Amino acid sequence: MISRQASAKNSLLLTLLLGAATLPGAAQAQPYGRGNLGGGFIEMLMTGRDPSPRAAAPIPTPGAPLGVPPAQWPAPQPMTAPRYASLPQGGPPEPMGRIERGFAPRFERQVVEYDGPHAAGTIVIDSPNKFLYLVQGGGKALRYGIGVGRPGFTWAGVKTITRKAEWPGWTPPPEMLKRRPDLPAHMEGGPDNPLGARAMYLGSTLYRIHGTNEPNTIGQNVSSGCIRLRNEDVEDLYSRVRVGTKVIVI
């Protein structure tokens, strides 16, 4: 037989379960899960432990200093600027490793080993392999990729630079105008001029070492006998040589 004390205890518990929200001073459970009076509320009554979900700890921001309030975090740093290769004559910056459309990386300007017989300061043009060498001395040379004469317009010999010009104008010779009557009689220097940014005239001939507005032609047989380089390369070469420089074409 159940004692009156136990019966009174059970009645009190039942009253709490059915009408706890109306008891004076009763704590109001916060919404959680599927209802306000779930198993967690009963657990609190029976055990005295509060099963309410704890606020989740904030997820740390990558790189944020530990233990420092967000208001005191340092300002984010800007992305590192890209590196650029230096160009002569104050030209526009060129991104490192830039590869122009149709321009093979092997024709990039670079220092190479050189064991030939020519003195420092001599220009050696290897037409078959499409390279121009500026001998530096000490077993080194500065090598540039070039475009050379197309079949029937290649040549070999020894010349000297007799004149230098920046952004030269171009007057096609009569024989070229005969082949290409669509060409202008004269074109002033500028970005659209086929002689490019610089020209070095060879002896008393019509041949030149010059730049180009078609850098994709470097490494090809394309000219009427002139030696062409990219504008940034011809500017570099132009700054290193003087009138009187020997040019050997092989």
d(CA 138, CA 131): 20
Single-letter code of the amino acid located at 172 = P
Query: What's the length of the chain?
Result: 250
d(CA 128, CA 170): 26
Note whether 129 and 148 are within 8 A (CB). no
Catalytic residue among 130, 143, 210, 228: 210
Quote the Cα angle for 238-240-246, to 5°: 85
d(CA 93, CA 167): 19
Catalytic residue among 125, 226, 234, 241: 226
d(CA 230, CA 233): 5
Active site residue 226: yes
Query: Which active-site residues does the annotation give?
Result: 210, 226
